Copies of this chain bind each other. A is one copy, B any other.
């Protein structure tokens, strides 16, 4: 059996056909999330905003789309050996939930210092959790060992083409739900969501301006696009805990090719945008999602009069911090 280790292999990004196939494949499991609007937020930006609510997706984040596509695309023979990933966040829970739906094992490698709440989510979704020391070497060694011993298929959180294709289905849905999008904005972490959506939008709505939103403390995608190659940041730091990863090489390539522009804001702008979204939309969005609205606030002049698709990526906030 060949072990598919992403980091050592050149990866070909998905095409529109792959994204359309993903949409069909996940349609029985993923939610068709609503698009919400709010007059007061429209007035604040001077644009018509269409919020695509992936915080209302299964497991509370868009990540379910990609994980579900990867899990259900496996041949039966391979699938029975299960799937494997490393994640301390939404991708781990998403892969576990998708594997449970297919009835196959899921192994999730989690660093020893991972957030206890997120760990509980992964366990609750039915995965076997494997702890490792919180460094890249330990993580890769454990992943390789688990691939050897279990035969499980590695599903990378953002460089896997099936994952990228799954994330792109959110943009295809949005295009069916809203008639004409001038600009589209989504957060950028590893770049799985933005690259999948960029491929879908460039094919189906070529005039749409594509904007990525990134925290200033983890602006590797913006720097990479400026440098013309992947640049990583030594110590990324932001309350946007879903956006700290360095952009994947394949994801960077898609963003560069499809002319995605990345704009960054600081954490205090994210905090105030999050508060505003909770207040007006009555939705729980996590900081890594609210950043898209923070960028709209900081650059409202660029969006004046436009129809703007805003991808709210997730809502997994630690409610223990709330007063009830």
Contact = CB atoms under 8 A, between A and B. Distances in A.
Interface string A247-271: 0000000000000000000000001
Interface string A11-49: 000000000000000000001001011010000000000
A85 to B, nearest CB: 22
A276 to B, nearest CB: 10
B56 A282 contact: yes
A322 interface: yes
A283 interface: yes
A315 interface: yes
A279 interface: yes
Contacts of A278: 284, 319, 322
Contact of A324 (B34, B55, B275, B281): B275
A319 B55 contact: no
Interface in A309-324: 315, 319, 321-324
B324 A279 contact: no
A274 interface: yes
Contacts of A31: 37
A60 interface: yes
B275 A319 contact: yes
Contacts of A36: 34, 56
Contacts of A58: 39
A278 B55 CA distance: 12
A36 B34 CA distance: 9
B322 A323 contact: yes
A144 to B, nearest CB: 34
Given A36-B56, A60-B282, A282-B60, A271 B324 contact: yes
Nearest to A285: B282
A317 B282 CA distance: 9
A274 B56 contact: no
Contact of A283 (B275, B282, B323): B282
Contacts of A275: 319, 322, 324
A278 B56 CA distance: 11
Interface in A152-196: none
Contact of A282 (B55, B323, B324): B55
Contacts of A323: 321-323
Interface string A47-65: 0000000011010100000
A56 B282 CA distance: 6
Contacts of A315: 282
A274 B322 contact: no
A31 B280 CA distance: 14
Nearest to A58: B39
Nearest to A34: B34
Which of A278, A285, A321 is the most central at the interface, judged by chain B CB atoms within 10 Å of its CB? A278
Contacts of A283: 56, 282-284
10 contacts: A31-B37, A55-B282, A275-B322, A278-B319, A282-B283, A282-B315, A283-B284, A321-B323, A322-B322, A323-B323
Q: Top 3 nearest A-B pairs by Cβ distance?
A: A282-B315, A34-B34, A282-B284
